[in-house]
Chain A
């Protein structure tokens, strides 16, 4: 168990750093657009001072663009905040739909992210007792593997199957022609083992079986 906790600490820090780096990149892009747009407005103002006609439509479109980017920034910061609060309670009952939704959104900041189709979060879904931060790390790793397999033009479909009495199946479907022989990687397998999650690969599908509760999680909760 100590090995597992060491592994979690190292991988958790790496994951936290990676996500934060991608968020900072996104925020810089947002600020860059706002900066260029305000710079353009300054340019227009200077031209107006020199007697050139000022086109109201240009000012309107700049204002709209700035408002859109501010909203994009708020959305990004909200996601960053939700992510940061995932470590508040190490083990807790977690809605998988919400967790998946946030993880996919965070992964979309990666430059190599593909198109992802996810099910709408379902508040009636039975929660799982897990470490949300580590589960997010695992799903993020699976998404990265999928993105690298299908490329930025590719598509990954994700769905849940909750007919099992003991847990939920989370299915990642890649195009049928994709090679999946390298999955799961050692790190993904280890991350899954720590959480008591089983991984199977069926044709071009990666399946994570996430138990509603497991001895590993209960044991981990008593140590954290």
Chain B
């Protein structure tokens, strides 16, 4: 499974990448929307884990741009919002929303779910 993690909180995303690597899930990281677009253009990822709120572009907008490059890319949104987009699926889009702080086991379960 090829995963890309996108969030402007660099410490958060770096730590998540290390913890996933310990569980044999290799992930690339991107700290901006532009960086994510560039990486998705060059690598056939299976899943993108996107922060909802990022400088310059929202996770929802970024999803559209990434899907234009890779229509099969599965999306998991991670949000720091207090309400409205808490954990659970968006039935309209089948995307998954997880709330910060993350539970690594839930994230991995969701990664496996969408990748399969």
A interface residues, Cβ below 8 angstroms from B: 21, 24-26, 28-29, 31-37, 39-40, 43, 47, 65, 69, 111-113, 151-153
Contacts and interface: CB of A to CB of B under 8 A. Distances in A.
B104 interface: yes
B54 A111 contact: yes
Interface in B59-116: 80-82, 99-102, 104
B100 A28 contact: yes
A47 B102 CA distance: 21
A40 B18 contact: yes
Given A36-B19, A112-B55, A25 B101 contact: no
8 contacts: A25-B82, A28-B82, A29-B80, A32-B102, A37-B11, A40-B18, A40-B19, A65-B11
Which of A21, A24, A47, A111 neighbours the largest number of chain B CB atoms within 10 Å of its CB? A111
Contacts of A33: 9, 11-12, 15
B19 A43 contact: yes
Contacts, number: 67
Interface in B1-46: 9, 11-12, 15-16, 18-19, 22
A153 B56 contact: yes
A36 B9 CA distance: 12
Contact of B101 (A24, A32, A112, A151): A32
Contacts of B12: 29, 32-33, 36
A176 B86 CA distance: 42
Contact of B9 (A24, A32, A152, A153): A32
Given A40-B18, A111-B53, A153-B56, A35 B82 contact: no
A24 B102 CA distance: 16
B32 to A, nearest CB: 9
Given A29-B80, A34-B101, 20 more contacts: A21-B82, A24-B82, A25-B53, A28-B80, A28-B99, A31-B101, A32-B80, A32-B100, A33-B11, A33-B12, A33-B15, A35-B101, A36-B16, A37-B15, A65-B11, A65-B15, A111-B54, A111-B58, A113-B55, A152-B55
A39 B100 contact: no
Contacts of B16: 36
A31 B55 contact: no
Nearest to B58: A111
Contact of B19 (A21, A39, A153): A39
Nearest 4 pairs of A and B residues by beta carbon? A35-B101, A32-B100, A28-B80, A36-B15
Contacts of A36: 11-12, 15-16, 19, 101-102
Contacts of A37: 11, 15
B11 A69 contact: yes
A45 to B, nearest CB: 12
A69 to B, nearest CB: 7
